[in-house]
Structure 1
Amino acid sequence: MKKLLVLTTALTSLAFAANADVTVMSWGGAYGEAQTEAHVKPWAAATGNAAVMVDSDNPAPALKAMVEAGNVTVDVASVEYADAVRLCDEGVLEPIDPATVKPGADGTAAVDDFFPGAITECGVATDIWANVFAYDTTKFPEGPKTVADFFDLTKFPGKRGLRKGAKAVLELALLGDGVAPADVYATLGTPEGVDRAFAKLDTIKSEVVWWEAGAQAPQLLADGEVAMTTAYNGRIFGAAVGEGKPFQIVWDGQIYESELYVVPKGAPNKDLAMDFISYATSTEGLRAQASNISYGAPRKSSNIEPIIYKDGKTDMAPHSPTNPANMANSLLTSSDFWVDHDAELNERFQAWLSQ
């Protein structure tokens, strides 16, 4: 039923895109807007092709449903790293030849210009983003300061917002319980470690408001429905800097990874999709996206000069997951771990939710 719902929602949102030469599916909100302004509109202008952006709460399940149904209506999608690897292994995605990815502005080959691992068999990274938690400074003028504070209902009372799923939530629980980032996946790979993560979540379960779409997290905070919430860092940046909301990110315990552009098997405009990805992930394309939202650019040549927000004055460095000051107690998501354990841990998570 869930898969059918995802597919139905995706197809409904795509109805107006039937005449596009390239249809890109992404996450909506500030993120989708950033990719539209940095990639979709400029590529269309440069090539003369029609391009359109459509939104999804999570493009990966929608893509898989389309391919399995034999009714693929998007050409490019933006998916999380682990999903790109898993879907590629499952035969859902088209391979991408690294030679088709543009060299850096200085001529450096793409495979040397991108950060390690940013070009995979079926995907090219567009940004480095993070799961963080944030709070309203009018409610907590002095902090929280650490990931442990997220779980401290005595010192920082109030509801907590959490994404409804195992990924990044179980890691956050272990980080909040004092597990060092270097030990998180080794711990989570054991039955005892999984039990420990859920035991930590038990300490706040009665106070959790679950969110599923990225736009919900800052809205929960703005509406006062939660005292603090996990969120995609770009969503909080957009609300704080773009809309003037009194929100503050706590970078301690951030869980970061890459987002990738992929092409589904059976994409109606495969060749144009590959051209779009090459254009979007160029030095200039990635700088343009990073100037529209506070996610790090995943290739070296895009970061040679400071990146300034579209307001023309805000230096994006302090707001980026890749800023050294923001990475002191950070965790790089293990795509290998989630490719291997996603099904079992989400099954355990759903069982825990129903208890």
Structure 2
Amino acid sequence: MKVGSIRRQFAMFAVSAGIALLTAGGASAESLTVVGWGGALSKAENEAFEKPFTRKTGVKINAQVYSGGLAEVKAQVESGNVTWDVMDAEMTDAELGCAEGLLEKIKTSDLAPGADGSSPEKDFFASAVHECGVANYVWANVYAYDKNKFPNGGPQSIADLFDTKKFPGKRGLRKSPKANLEWAIMADGVARENVYEVLATPEGVERAFKVLDRIKKDTIWWEAGAQPPQMLADGEVAITSAYNGRLFNAIVKEGQPFQIVWDGQVWDYGAFVVPKGSPNRDRALEFIRFATAPERLADLTNYISYGPSRASGVNLVSEKMKPHLPTAKDNFARGLRSSAAFWSDYGDQLNEQFSAWLATK
């Protein structure tokens, strides 16, 4: 064989090998680590966001679960070993993480336009886009009861949550001051529009803890979102707070005899954020643009009862699902938006007070 022929065959082999390597390590083998809350929500996001994104781009999603907060991402950023690409966070944590330099900035103009062609700036609801976070759904802290425990009619108002004489039985509450302090102060007669003004004072906080004192000995504290529906199903509690999506899943998909009480719901946005120094920053931002498009947000409601965070997304939701969302007209009218600004300013202090309060008899 001539030398030239050998060289040509070698070159062709090298090119073929190179293509094989690119195929194994290129776009089709790329992956993003997306961290969420687990349970019904993560399953819903997998169907509405992650699977469609993989089908479109070939990028695989490595889904992981955490319990919220910034402790883990802070440790990653400060150590210079960031392994997460996208987090599903509370909007409060998006604001806090941004202020602490733990999160990447996101340009609103880079997000998908509305289904009607409107700009993302106009289509997203007020405060749904932060410089470091993009709202991916509207969720709510609510409470629910087991209808079998109250055959003559269950609680109807936020004040009933704290009335163990009229509505006896164990309570389940999240082991956090968030929502609990708001509920307590509303149950004590403070109007929704004045809640954070009152809680910003020592007197207001003391007033809220006195209301919580009423049910402290009858309360079982939960930390993971899967716990309250299970506690209710097991008869461990008669009434419990929970994320509305978890309750919807238990009621509609599992047939549990639970009733949600929407009065006093404390609602907020979930938000996609990108840890500072993500090794796949550009792909992470591409994922967020895709997942927060109105069509994707509307599709999420087919799997869990969390509402879209943008107007044109709401218009795409089925009539069957609309009444189950925190944003349904009657539900929304009785709700309170969780204040990211308030919890940014007072969160550390109130967490300490809450922990100290729990430790006392």
TM above 0.5, yes or no, is yes
The answer (yes or no) to whether the contact 1:59–1:77 under 8 Å persists in 2 is no
2:117 alignment counterpart? 107
1:164 alignment counterpart? 175
Amino acid at match of 2:91: Y
The answer (yes or no) to whether the contact 2:171–2:238 under 8 Å persists in 1 is yes
Q: CA deviation at 1:20?
A: 5.6
Coordinate RMSD, CA, aligned: 1.2
- Give 5+ residue unaligned stretches, structure 1: 1-18, 309-314
* Consecutive aligned runs of 4 or more in structure 1 exceeding 6 Å deviation: none
| Correspondence 1:316 to 2:321 | yes
The answer (yes or no) to whether the contact 1:20–1:52 under 8 Å persists in 2 is no
Range 224-233 or range 298-307, more displaced: 298-307
| Correspondence 1:57 to 2:62 | no
1:266 alignment counterpart? 277
| Correspondence 1:347 to 2:358 | no
2:247 alignment counterpart? 236
CA gap 1:73/1:194 in 2 versus in 1, 3 angstroms: same
Q: Name the CA distance, whole Å, in 2 between partners of 1:152 and 1:240.
A: 24
1:257 alignment counterpart? 268
Percentage of pairs with the same residue? 52
1:105-162 deviation per Cα after TM superposition (whole angstroms, max 9, x unaligned): 2211111111111111011100011000001111113111111111010011111000
Q: Name the CA distance, whole Å, in 2 between partners of 1:79 and 1:302.
A: 20
Q: CA deviation at 1:51?
A: 1.3
Q: Name the CA distance, whole Å, in 1 between partners of 2:316 and 2:49.
A: 20
Q: Name the CA distance, whole Å, in 2 between partners of 1:273 and 1:306.
A: 26
- Give 5+ residue unaligned stretches, structure 2: 1-28
The answer (yes or no) to whether the contact 1:23–1:76 under 8 Å persists in 2 is yes
Provide the TM-score with structure 2 as the length reference: 0.90
Which of 118, 122, 140 is 2:150 aligned to?
140
Q: Name the CA distance, whole Å, in 2 between partners of 1:135 and 1:215.
A: 16
SS of the residue corresponding to residue 138 of structure 1 reads: helix
Q: Name the CA distance, whole Å, in 2 between partners of 1:88 and 1:282.
A: 23
Note the 1:1-355 alignment, pairs <5 A: 21-58=31-68, 60-141=70-151, 142-307=153-318, 315-355=320-360
1:3 alignment counterpart? none
Amino acid at match of 1:84: A
Q: CA deviation at 1:64?
A: 2.1
Q: Name the CA distance, whole Å, in 2 between partners of 1:328 and 1:103.
A: 28
Q: CA deviation at 1:70?
A: 2.2
Provide the TM-score with structure 1 as the length reference: 0.91
- Rg larger for: 2
Q: Name the CA distance, whole Å, in 2 between partners of 1:70 and 1:202.
A: 44
1:184-230 deviation per Cα after TM superposition (whole angstroms, max 9, x unaligned): 10110011000000000001000010000111111111111111000
Amino acid at match of 1:331: L
2:12 alignment counterpart? none
Q: Name the CA distance, whole Å, in 2 between partners of 1:273 and 1:75.
A: 6
Q: Name the CA distance, whole Å, in 1 between partners of 2:76 and 2:150.
A: 45
Count of residue pairs the alignment pairs up: 331
